[in-house]
Amino acid sequence: MTQKFRAFRFATLTFVAALFLTTDSVVAQEPEGVNQLEDWQQEELISLIEEARQTVTAPSAGPAPFELGGFASQIGTDGEGYVAYTVTIDPSKITTPTVAMYMFLLDPASIAAVSAGETEDSDEAPELPDDAFEYYDFIDVASGGTEPIQISRALTAPGGEYEIFIAIRDSSGGEEVEDDAVPSAPLLLRESVTVPDFWNNTLQTSTVLIPDSLEQLQIPLTPDQLQLSPYTIAGVLRIEPKFDRVFGKQDELSLIFVVYNAGSEDGSKPNLQIEYNFHQQTADGEEFFNQTQPQEFNAETLPPGFDLSMGHMLPVTQSVPLSLFPAGDYRLEIKLIDNAASTELVHDVMFTVEEA
């Protein structure tokens, strides 16, 4: 069967405005000095930092105390990548309405150097390297409930492989505590994370996001605001992502991503075609199900003022109604064909359609 799906436009104004955003739109917050915090915050944070730093050379044993996921990458500034992430915590592990959070990022070479320093015959402990990125905050959460606690934040770093360290602990929230009160044990997590290199002049895209909600902002978010809405694209398209990828037949599958480093034949306009091919997972294997009309981004379809040489980015949106999709599991193949650079790029998006 063949069905012509419509291309999704969350608003013509939004699309055109986003089209002319340049690559310096996204910045993540670098932490300010601890001495600018209130006394109780300084005390809690310094203690949390000390315990988190110990995991560099003495990794914590046992299962991870919370989940880390929801990674979504886009171009950052000054040669860096920007990565949003979400931690999901069992509510039984949090007993206060405020938590302290500390995160830092190290490259493997730095960790190896610290470990090597520990083995040397010295009376002094090895000095920890500078972080590729660090962040801390005191966050209000809905403790005492049954729903998982989710905290979303972002990091920036040059493209490469890193170890991310996250420490979370109950906080007094500024309330008075007994002098002999013992702080609760922190939840400590260490995992590997990849920051893409979007600055290498090869065809790439930001992470394909499925929005649960999307809002056009008239003014780009500040670095502090980005940490609270880290899945915002280019600073002006605030997105709450849908993580579960499960839809009813009455829903639409909506996608948004940004294309980077597209080739150009005239120096200003790309010549890009994007295909969307749907494959259904069956008992006999995978079967082709349907496809949309390809999207074309070139001198004939883009506004006259669009110019890659000026750093303009290319946001792409698509929406497909699921009413004719039988219930089941699907793989959407997104194929980018760069005719100007004679190269292709493929992304897969897995999703499920349910009857109700």
180-238: pLDDT as tens digits: 566 788 999 999 999 999 999 999 999 999 999 999 999 999 988 999 999 999 889 99
Mean pLDDT of 143-156: 91
Give the lowest-confidence range in 2-16, 60-74, 135-149, 196-210.
2-16
Domain endpoint, select from 195, 223, 256 = 195
- Take residue 64 and report the two structure tokens written for it: 């991870």
DSSP, residue by residue, 272-329 = EEEEEEEEEEETTEEEEEEEPPPEEESTTTS-TT--GGGT--EEEEEEEE-TTSPSEE
Whether residues 191 and 210 fall in one domain: no
Looking at the predicted structure, is the pLDDT value of residue 298 above 90? yes
Whether residues 182 and 223 fall in one domain:
no
**Higher model confidence: residue 78 or residue 113?**
78
189 shares its domain with 46:
yes
| Of the ranges 32-46, 106-120, 181-195, the best mean pLDDT one | 181-195
CA distance 175 to 203: 52
Confidence at residue 110, expressed as pLDDT on a 0 to 100 scale? 82
Range of the domain at 181: 34-195
Same structural domain for residues 170 and 285? no
Q: How far apart are the first and last CA of the chain?
A: 23
Flag whether pLDDT at 21 surpasses 60.
no
Residue 91 CA: distances (Å) to CA of 95, 148, 170, 197, 228:
8, 6, 12, 36, 20
Q: In angstroms, rounded to a whole number, what is the distance separating the alpha carbons of residues 16 and 255?
A: 17
Q: What is the pTM of this model?
A: 0.87
In a domain, 284, yes or no: yes
Q: For the residues 244-271, what does the mean pLDDT come to?
A: 96
Confidence of residue 24 (pLDDT cuts 50, 70, 90): very low
The residue count for the chain? 356
pLDDT (mean) for 283-299: 95
CATH number assigned to the domain comprising residue 230: 2.60.40.10
Is pLDDT larger for residue 6 or for residue 121?
121
pLDDT number for residue 277: 98
If one counts the domains in the chain, the total is: 2
The better pLDDT of the pair 117, 279 is held by 279
Q: How many CB atoms lie within 10 A of CB 289?
A: 19
For residues 47 and 169, membership in a common domain is answered with: yes
* Whether residue 43 sits in one domain with residue 187: yes
Q: Is residue 1 part of a domain?
A: no
Within a domain: residue 5? no
CA angle 323, 335, 329 (to 5 degrees): 40
Share of the chain above pLDDT 70, in %: 83
Check whether residue 114 and residue 220 sit in a common domain: no
Residues 6+ positions from 316 with CB-CB distance below 8 Å: 205, 255, 256, 257, 258, 259, 274, 295, 297
Q: How confident is the model at residue 29 (pLDDT cuts 50, 70, 90)?
A: very low
Query: Do 190 and 242 share a domain, yes or no?
Result: no
Determine, yes or no, domain membership for 229: yes
In this structure, of 6-10, 66-70, 168-172, 318-322, the range with the lowest mean pLDDT score is: 6-10
Strands 343-354 and 246-248, by their bridges, are parallel
Of 195, 214, 248, the domain-final residue: 195
Distance CA 204, CA 351 (A): 22
**Judgement on whether residues 148 and 84 belong to the same structural domain of the protein:** yes
| Residue 7 falls inside a structural domain | no
Output the pLDDT for position 119: 53
SS3 92: helix
The top-scoring range by mean pLDDT among 47-61, 142-156, 230-244 is 230-244
300 and 180 within one domain: no
Q: Which residue has the higher pLDDT, 252 or 26?
A: 252
**What pLDDT score was predicted for residue 13?**
35
111, 155, 133, 160: CA torsion to nearest 10: 50
Q: What percent of the chain has pLDDT over 90?
A: 67
Last residue of a domain, one of 179, 195, 211: 195
Whether 4 maps to a domain, the answer reads no
| 55 in the same domain as 16 | no
- Identify whether 2 is part of a domain: no
Q: Is residue 295 located within the same domain as residue 227?
A: yes
Residue 26 lies in a domain: no
Given this model, what pLDDT does residue 313 score? 86
